[in-house]
């Protein structure tokens, strides 16, 4: 079953997307196995999905998108080490995890090391797969890195294609091209450049001696991508007090396809750790939940390029926020190409939704590129926690939004009943079985055009 994406708020106000899978055993927080993170798209890769389910068979698996990537908030300015550390701290705090294990890969493993060094009482076991102690030799040295960044500023598509082909080997063209497509869907040009202006200076070597967790250092078989791993593995294993090294034989460069490495991880993580239960938050009372979703946002990025697509999404954000402010809506979070908001009044929520669609329609008149948005509403008593809302009412609202077509406002029957007697026009769309729900729900389309 597809895990439900949730959000945590960092101490500097950034929304971090995550999901959990499995309920038994200790928590295992997994960093992105594909270097760049996208917890939504990763679930669509059958081999990776099977691997996640295998990891979650005896524990609670946690995956999150760091700031600027995947479903987490994009367009963030701060990508310092402390800021990236705050992303993981927000997720751990949101789930109230007192003890956890960490599984991390490549460059992002530096954040796992820094977290384990800071939170020595929380981290029990640490797996570092192909990890690097520093980034001084990233991309083959500073000269090549600066050349890549210069290319990324001028031609984002060519830079990503060049990087993926160089990393995997030019002979594996189709696989590298697919990885490039994944990266472009997971991070925008501006965020990529901001990140790589920060992380070349990252060096966790001084922190290694502070890591008290039992640590497994996995050294991949030598290859073009992992040609410098022997040096880094030696640095990690000799400076982390409770570390051991496993050197892998030939196999797939993808961790989730390397059976020898997988067996080593399972053996290392085999001992269970006592886990504190997750505590549910209180209900904020009855709320009407509204979601917006820009239709075809991924295709939009592919067609327009990152900069122009981001400009269009910023206009979507501006128009949504204006409508929320005018009608007393509370912004809960933004997901890059959509919003979640709540209202104490169903009438105000409907008025806000109509104002949004009319604002988009006005923008689209004569626009070179229209903004097509679907909106869904549901009402109920969600659970409030860390400035976010969860529960059945929220999940159903999200599924209703996914059911709507472009430029539509689709609402559950409960919303229509709450607004009964008001000047709204509803068209009965019949009963629909929403993904993840056994019982069908009756849906109504809100007619918002002036001619209606």
- The answer to whether the beta carbons of residues 110 and 205 sit under 8 Å apart is no
Partners of 388 in beta bridges: 385
Q: How far apart are CA 45 and CA 40, in angstroms?
A: 10
Over residues 354-377, mean pLDDT: 91
Q: How far apart are CA 203 and CA 114, in angstroms?
A: 10
| CATH number assigned to the domain with residue range 6-134+202-268, chosen from the 4 options 3.90.1150.10, 3.40.50.1820, 3.60.20.10, 3.40.50.2300 | 3.40.50.1820
Q: Which CATH class is domain 287-447?
A: alpha beta
Q: How far apart are CA 353 and CA 359, in angstroms?
A: 10
Tens digit of each residue's pLDDT (9 = 90 or more) over 244-279: 888 887 777 678 888 888 888 988 987 343 333 444
Residue length of the chain: 452
In the chain, list all ranges with CATH 3.30.70.1230. 287-447
Tens digit of each residue's pLDDT (9 = 90 or more) over 307-344: 788 888 888 999 999 999 999 999 998 877 889 999 98
Helix 306-326 × helix 297-304 angle, to 10°: 140
pLDDT reading at 241 higher than 50: yes
Partners of 20 in beta bridges: 62
pLDDT reading at 222 higher than 70: no
Q: What pLDDT shows up at residue 278?
A: 40
Q: How many CB atoms lie within 10 A of CB 342?
A: 22
pLDDT reading at 28 higher than 80: yes
Over residues 184-202, mean pLDDT: 84
pLDDT reading at 12 higher than 90: yes
Tens digit of each residue's pLDDT (9 = 90 or more) over 157-190: 887 877 776 665 544 566 667 778 888 888 988 8
pLDDT reading at 71 higher than 90: yes
Among 46-50, 134-138, 303-307, where is mean pLDDT lowest?
A: 134-138
- The answer to whether the beta carbons of residues 127 and 101 sit under 8 Å apart is yes
What DSSP assignment string belongs to 153-178? HH-HHHHHHHHHHHHH-TT-HHHHHH
Average pLDDT value for the chain? 84
Q: What pLDDT shows up at residue 273?
A: 35
Q: What pLDDT shows up at residue 295?
A: 85
């Amino acid at each position: 079953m597809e895990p439900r994406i949730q959000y945590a708020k960092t101490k500097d106000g950034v929304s971090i997307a995550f999901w959990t899978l499995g309920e038994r055993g200790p928590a295992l927080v997994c960093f992105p196995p594909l270097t760049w993170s996208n917890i939504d798209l990763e679930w669509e890769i059958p081999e990776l999905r099977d691997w996640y389910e295998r990891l979650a068979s005896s524990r609670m698996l946690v995956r999150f998108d760091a700031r600027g990537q995947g479903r987490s908030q994009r367009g963030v300015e701060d990508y310092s080490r402390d800021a990236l550390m705050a992303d993981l701290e927000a997720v751990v705090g949101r789930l109230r995890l007192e003890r956890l294990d960490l599984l991390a890969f490549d460059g992002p493993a530096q954040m796992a090391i820094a977290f384990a060094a800071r939170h020595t009482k929380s981290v029990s076991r640490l797996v570092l797969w192909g990890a690097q102690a520093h980034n001084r030799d990233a991309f083959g040295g500073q000269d090549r890195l600066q050349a890549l960044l210069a290319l990324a500023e001028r031609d984002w598509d060519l830079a990503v294609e060049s990087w993926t082909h160089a990393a995997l080997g030019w002979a594996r063209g189709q696989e590298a091209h697919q990885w490039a497509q994944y990266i472009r869907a997971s991070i925008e040009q501006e965020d990529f450049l901001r990140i790589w202006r920060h992380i070349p200076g990252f060096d966790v070597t001084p922190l290694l001696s502070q890591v008290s967790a039992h640590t497994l250092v996995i050294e991949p078989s030598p290859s073009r991508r992992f040609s410098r791993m022997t040096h880094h593995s030696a640095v990690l294993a000799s400076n982390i007090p409770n570390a051991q090294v496993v050197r892998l034989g030939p196999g797939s460069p993808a961790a989730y396809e390397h059976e020898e490495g997988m067996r080593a991880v399972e053996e290392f993580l085999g001992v269970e750790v006592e886990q504190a239960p997750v505590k549910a938050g209180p209900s904020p009372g009855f709320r009407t939940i509204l979601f917006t979703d820009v239709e075809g946002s991924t295709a939009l990025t592919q067609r327009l390029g990152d900069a122009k697509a981001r400009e269009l999404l910023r206009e979507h954000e501006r128009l949504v926020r204006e409508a929320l402010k005018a009608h007393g809506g509370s912004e809960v979070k933004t997901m890059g190409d959509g919003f979640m908001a709540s209202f104490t009044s169903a009438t105000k929520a409907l008025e806000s939704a109509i104002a949004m669609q009319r604002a988009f329609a006005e923008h689209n008149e004569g626009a070179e590129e229209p903004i097509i948005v679907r909106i869904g509403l549901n009402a109920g008593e969600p659970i409030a926690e860390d400035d976010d809302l969860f529960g059945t009412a929220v999940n159903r609202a999200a599924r209703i939004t996914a059911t709507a077509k472009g430029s539509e406002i689709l609402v559950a029957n409960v919303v229509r009943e709450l607004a009964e007697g008001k000047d709204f026009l509803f068209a009965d769309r019949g009963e629909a079985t929403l993904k993840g729900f056994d019982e069908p729900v009756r849906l109504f389309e809100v007619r918002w055009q002036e001619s209606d």
